[in-house]
Structure 1
Amino acid sequence: MDIHKIEIDTFAQRAEGMYQRLASLYNNSPDIINLPSDRLPQTFMELGHASEIVKIATEELYQQNEEIAQLRDLAETESQRYRELFELAPDAYLVTDNLGIIQEANRAAAHMLNLSQHYLVGKPIANYVALEDRHRFRSLLKQLEECGDKAMELVLGFLKRNGDVFDAAITVAVACNRQGQPTQARWLIRDISEQQAFLRDRQCKPAELASVNHDCNHVENRLLHKYCKGETIPLNPSAIWYVSQGMVKLSTLCETGEEVLIGLAGEGMVFGSSLTSLHIYQATAMSDTELSSISLAEIATSQTLSHTLLPKINRRLKQTEAFLAVVGRRRVEDRINYLLQLLKQEIGQKVAQGIRFSVRLTHEELASACCTTRVTITRLMGKLQKQGKISFDSKNHIIIKDL
């Protein structure tokens, strides 16, 4: 029986005993029993009210105790349900503290590493990472402190109990406390050795490769990371980002500390710090954006994935060269005209009034791409607007009419 139920029953019994003794005392007082109620001693009146309050409180305690018991049973049922989901998950799942010490391990993880669940608890997860990948893994642990609630992905070599190494696709997410400080990391680990071996051994012909790309969708069918407009996107040197939806601004800083626009990555494009030699390289979401992370190790070992990404990387490089060509023009008027034509191709959408840019670009951003001042861009954009060559919609998106 519930200890709280026993305590309430005891309290109720004592309250009922007090109520009965008070009634007996009242009934056995012949001197006052026939007096009008307004002349009863104040003490009897107050005791009567108090006993009624105690009786009502007892009933409320019973009701609250029943509600608490129901909530506790519901919580226990949900806890058991999630415990079963954790234990019986088909993929390996580990929970660690923010230092990488394993706190929980499900059955699949124990089976994958050929170790008991009890043995895994309390061990550093780094112990089961292949020696050649531990430096990258430690870098990942440091990045987890800064990534907030965003999941990260990469491919690492993992060790089994007998020393065998297998390729593992890792997805890790951080749990934070109310102060935003990381407290736990949740690791989803998949053994992809067979897939990797198949891709390494298979020599696809171009026609076969196109079919594989179409059927498998190696790039598109991945975990999505969502970023809001204006949010800075973290850059992992061991991975590249694939844009599934939205627009990303790529920029650097010049010697004066001013931002320089060097590219825009839209749907179907890739970007990452590994694709540039710039020391300062920043990616910012220009709209609500969805990205997929692809590790360089996975690209290196997957012929199919490499062929899929090659034209996307090529497109990104061509755009970079086009942005460089903007600043090569001597007259500022020519630079802005060339830039607007470039943006028309990259982010233009056909509307009734002309070609509308899918995202809003400020005069400051246009000026940074043209290597000039915001004041100059404002003057030139005003001139183009008066000439009827450009206009703006209700959200200040540029509409190209005729350049």
Structure 2
Amino acid sequence: MTAVHATSFSPTQDCLQLKPKQVIPDESAGYLWCIEQGVVRTVTWDDEGDLVTLGLWGVGDCIGQRFTSMAPFQMESVSDVQVRAVPVSSQELGLVLRSHIRFMEDLFLINSYKLAPQRLLHFLTWLSHRFGQPVEQGQLLDIGLTHQLIAELTGINRITATRLLNELEREGQLIRLPKQRIILSSTGLGRALG
């Protein structure tokens, strides 16, 4: 199991600011974490101790231990993150659960594509809709998107993910920027999926 920086939390403090790779504490006091800034990933470990990314969550999403039966389970910041502890009524919990189910269905559908290039293109398109910021050349993904994280979420090994990303860059479908940021071409990805 990979050690990640733990974050302390006091029930009297309702908001946390985190740097990448910091762990968000469990919500044992009956609250959820609502993401106000940044991207968080939820993770577990398999029987061999390898990290498994369960999902990526962004602004407006609420996350917490109560949504999973996975053990161990951890919430880790991918970028600079601000989360707020919020108590949740049963009615609100239903809305959050529907959102989580929709998210998981999206990932299941993406991972159903048998060919790795097709799976990656659909995943990048999904990311651009979920986390992208419009820029002149397309959609900017400024979420610290590593090749390893792409591989974990798509079921493609890291080497294949890197090779496919290089091909997409050569074809003009994406532009790599410093600090693991990429721009997805609005015309290139649409053509590839059409």
> Residue 10 of structure 2 aligns to which amino acid in structure 1?
A
In structure 1, the residue matched to 2:24 is 233
Backbone CA RMSD of aligned residues = 2.1
3-state DSSP class of the match of 2:43?
Answer: strand
In structure 1, the residue matched to 2:71 is 279
3-state DSSP class of the match of 1:241?
Answer: strand
Q: 2:160 aligned with 1:368, yes or no?
A: no
In structure 1, the residue matched to 2:192 is none
Q: Map residues 285-296 of structure 1 onto 2, 5 A cutoff.
A: 285-295=77-87
CA apart distance, 1:339:
0.9
Conserved in 2, the CA contact under 8 Å of 1:360 and 1:398?
no
Distance 1:147 1:378, change over 3 A: closer
- List structure 1 segments (4+ residues) > 4 angstroms apart after TM superposition: none
TM-score with structure 2 length normalisation? Answer: 0.83
In structure 2, the residue matched to 1:13 is none
- State how far apart, in whole Å, the 1-side matches of 2:38 and 2:167 are: 30
3-state DSSP class of the match of 1:235?
Answer: coil
Consecutive unaligned residues of structure 1, counting only runs of 5 or more, are 1-145, 153-170, 174-222, 301-305
Q: 2:47 aligned with 1:248, yes or no?
A: no
CA apart distance, 1:312:
4.0
- State how far apart, in whole Å, the 2-side matches of 1:252 and 1:325 are: 21
Q: 2:136 aligned with 1:344, yes or no?
A: no
In structure 2, the residue matched to 1:318 is 102
- State how far apart, in whole Å, the 1-side matches of 2:7 and 2:170 are: 46
In structure 2, the residue matched to 1:151 is 10
In structure 2, the residue matched to 1:269 is 61
- State how far apart, in whole Å, the 1-side matches of 2:61 and 2:27 are: 17
Conserved in 2, the CA contact under 8 Å of 1:239 and 1:274?
no
Distance 1:326 1:258, change over 3 A: farther
Q: 2:143 aligned with 1:359, yes or no?
A: yes
- State how far apart, in whole Å, the 1-side matches of 2:7 and 2:153 are: 29
Identity between Structure 1 and Structure 2 (%): 25
Q: Map residues 117-266 of structure 1 onto 2, 5 A cutoff.
A: 148=8, 150-152=9-11, 171=12, 223-237=14-28, 238-266=30-58
Distance 1:275 1:349, change over 3 A: same
- State how far apart, in whole Å, the 2-side matches of 1:281 and 1:266 are: 18
> Residue 24 of structure 2 aligns to which amino acid in structure 1?
I
Consecutive unaligned residues of structure 2, counting only runs of 5 or more, are 1-5, 190-194
3-state DSSP class of the match of 2:110?
Answer: helix
- State how far apart, in whole Å, the 2-side matches of 1:395 and 1:330 are: 30
Conserved in 1, the CA contact under 8 Å of 2:79 and 2:144?
no
- State how far apart, in whole Å, the 2-side matches of 1:264 and 1:339 are: 12
TM-score with structure 1 length normalisation? Answer: 0.42
3-state DSSP class of the match of 2:72?
Answer: coil
3-state DSSP class of the match of 1:319?
Answer: helix
- State how far apart, in whole Å, the 2-side matches of 1:272 and 1:292 are: 12
- State how far apart, in whole Å, the 1-side matches of 2:129 and 2:94 are: 21
Conserved in 2, the CA contact under 8 Å of 1:151 and 1:225?
no
3-state DSSP class of the match of 1:267?
Answer: coil
Conserved in 1, the CA contact under 8 Å of 2:7 and 2:22?
no
Conserved in 2, the CA contact under 8 Å of 1:243 and 1:290?
yes
CA apart distance, 1:231:
0.6
Distance 1:245 1:313, change over 3 A: farther
User: Which has the larger Rg?
Assistant: 1
CA apart distance, 1:273:
1.0
CA apart distance, 1:358:
2.5
In structure 1, the residue matched to 2:171 is 387
Normalized per residue, the structure richer in helix is 1
3-state DSSP class of the match of 2:144?
Answer: coil
Q: What whole-Å deviation, never above 9, does each CA across 1:200-225 have from its counterpart, x for those lacking one?
A: xxxxxxxxxxxxxxxxxxxxxxx322
Distance 1:255 1:380, change over 3 A: farther
In structure 2, the residue matched to 1:397 is 181
Q: Map residues 67-78 of structure 1 onto 2, 5 A cutoff.
A: none
Distance 1:393 1:319, change over 3 A: same
Normalized per residue, the structure richer in strand is 2
Q: What whole-Å deviation, never above 9, does each CA across 1:283-337 have from its counterpart, x for those lacking one?
A: 11122222121345xx24xxxxx34x64444223211221222222211112111
Conserved in 1, the CA contact under 8 Å of 2:151 and 2:157?
yes
